[in-house]
Amino acid sequence: MRVLALAAVVLLSACPTTEEPEPLDPNAPKYYSDIQPILQTHCVRCHYADGLGLGDFTDPDVVVGLAGAIVGEVEAGRMPPPASDPECRDYAGSAQLVLPEADKAVFREWRDGGAQLGDPADAVEGNFVETELADADTDFLMLEPYTPVYDDPALPGNEYRCFVLENTAPQTFFITGLSPIIDAQEIAHHIVVSRIDANDGDIPAHDPAEGFECADFNILSGLLGAWAPGMLPIEMPEGYGMRVSPDQNIIMQMHYFDSNPGTDYADQSGYAFRTEPEVDKEMLMIPIGSFDWTIPAGDDSFSHHESYSPTGLGFPVDVDIFGVFPHMHVLGKAWDYWVEHEGGKETCLSQSDVYDFNNQMTYMWNDKVRVGADDQLHFECTWNNSTSNPDRVVDPPQDTSWGEGTDSEMCFFFTYGAAASD
């Protein structure tokens, strides 16, 4: 009986089906007219041949093959990577960094309609974002290509390497815009760029072409900017710039990530600056943060809140603030940053329910925010120090406090600010 039944099933399925495949809905979204423009606006700056994102999204066949995965990632809110909520405060590039709900529906309807390509003649172009500064005038490049070796047992597959890039300018200059020059896209995970005194005693003796291992090196005091894949160039508002004196060099901390184990990539990245010999106002990147907390092992949502007045930050007067780079390490889960004005009114500065260590961004707001000497700047970091956090590097979870290494944590809101002016 059993054998017979089985044979019948085999026979049935071997029979050529007489049923026609269901015709595809001609009104469903198509790749060329509906999907390509969304990808170009929101995805291809990371998903291109050799980019850090998986797959070349400029190739229609690749995109069709990934239709299911794309819908899954988009609906889960993992792609594009989470960014500060523009409803809190809008910032440069938010239209490209945040995917509108309507576009998520288009992806879904496209997949459900059979992921059709449509007609190339109907192709619609998206709004590409410039990831490079168009009018840079000064480049600082690593002296020679460097091939990471990933030999720190505490950080498998990761390497933090600092390169001191010599400043040969005879006079002080001011940086009014900056963007990185990325060479090996496959392994450039993120970059922090700072100024450092040429005779800074903390810099270990090293071959300038090779740089030095610097997972635990404090690069943050002269901070100029930070970059992660997909981030846009940082531009100061008109009349503002960050000072670099002739006795300072540029230091660049490269975080390399072994995205393709077994393949060596040599990297010679750098930074491009737009500079001016003078500016009206000196911009600072103010390291607002706190150090005094311990995240309990196993806690999947531990928050720390603190506040400062501008006077507490060393500003004798009101401050104008222009943007922020929120920074935690791999336990980071969410952040909130706001001003409490005299009288209790609050202004949201930057907020996200999801923090992604692999996708740290600097947000330059569309409008500056005045923080009065009697106002308070509030910030809150939330961490996930439990096994449900896949980015954790310490296993099992341990009580975690402030430190430079990736196995320690931070809670910083590096804020572009300047003494107030009208």
Binding mask 333-362 for ligand HEC (x = CB under 6 A): -------------------------xx---
12-71: which residues touch ligand HEC (CB under 6 A)?
Answer: 42-43, 45-47, 52-54, 66, 69-70
Nearer to ligand HEC, 71 or 215 (CB): 71
Residue 54 CB, shortest distance to ligand HEC, in Å, is 5
Nearer to ligand HEC, 230 or 241 (CB): 230
Omega before residue 310 within 30° of 0, cis: no
Residue 370 CB, shortest distance to ligand HEC, in Å, is 32
Distances (CA, A) of 277 to 178, 194, 386: 15, 19, 50
Among 32, 48, 73, 113, binds ligand HEC (CB under 6 A): 73
Residue 69 CB, shortest distance to ligand HEC, in Å, is 4
Residue 111 CB, shortest distance to ligand HEC, in Å, is 11
Residue 106 CB, shortest distance to ligand HEC, in Å, is 11
Q: Which residue is nearest to ligand HEC (CB)?
A: 230
- Scan for tokens 């209790």, then name that residue: 344
Instruction: Kindly tell me the sign of the dihedral angle through the C-alpha atoms of 83, 89, 91, 97.
Output: positive
145-174: which residues touch ligand HEC (CB under 6 A)?
Answer: none
Among 35, 79, 339, 371, binds ligand HEC (CB under 6 A): 79
Among 93, 230, 323, 417, binds ligand HEC (CB under 6 A): 230
Residue 187 burial (CB count, 10 A)? 25
Among 34, 36, 67, 81, binds ligand HEC (CB under 6 A): 81
Nearer to ligand HEC, 359 or 400 (CB): 359
CB distance 337 to 252 below 8 Å: no
Nearer to ligand HEC, 167 or 179 (CB): 179
Nearest to 150 by CA among 237, 69, 265: 265
Nearest to 60 by CA among 100, 120, 4, 129: 120
Nearer to ligand HEC, 46 or 236 (CB): 46
Distances (CA, A) of 335 to 86, 166, 355: 14, 35, 7
Stretch that binds ligand HEC, among 72-80, 149-157, 287-295, 339-347 (CB under 6 A): 72-80
Nearest to 365 by CA among 338, 397, 330: 338
Instruction: Kindly tell me the sign of the dihedral angle through the C-alpha atoms of 188, 140, 327, 93.
Output: negative
| Cβ neighbours for 9, distance < 8 A, ≥ 6 positions apart | none
Among 74, 214, 250, 252, binds ligand HEC (CB under 6 A): 74
Residue 233 CB, shortest distance to ligand HEC, in Å, is 15
86-115: which residues touch ligand HEC (CB under 6 A)?
Answer: 99
- Upper half-sphere CA count for residue 55 (Cβ side, 13 Å): 15
Nearer to ligand HEC, 98 or 328 (CB): 98
Interface size with ligand HEC, residues (CB under 6 A)? 21
Residue 411 and residue 291: Cα distance in Å, rounded?
7
- Scan for tokens 């660049």, then name that residue: 252
| Cβ neighbours for 65, distance < 8 A, ≥ 6 positions apart | none
Residue 254 CB, shortest distance to ligand HEC, in Å, is 17
Between the two ends of the chain, the Cα-to-Cα distance in Å is 91
* Residue 7 is a binding residue for ligand HEC (CB under 6 A): no
Residue 151 and residue 421: Cα distance in Å, rounded?
49
Nearer to ligand HEC, 38 or 286 (CB): 38
CB distance 219 to 119 below 8 Å: no
Distances (CA, A) of 332 to 102, 209, 232, 255: 29, 33, 22, 17
Q: Which residues bind ligand HEC (CB under 6 A)?
A: 42-43, 45-47, 52-54, 66, 69-70, 73-74, 79-81, 99, 229-230, 358-359
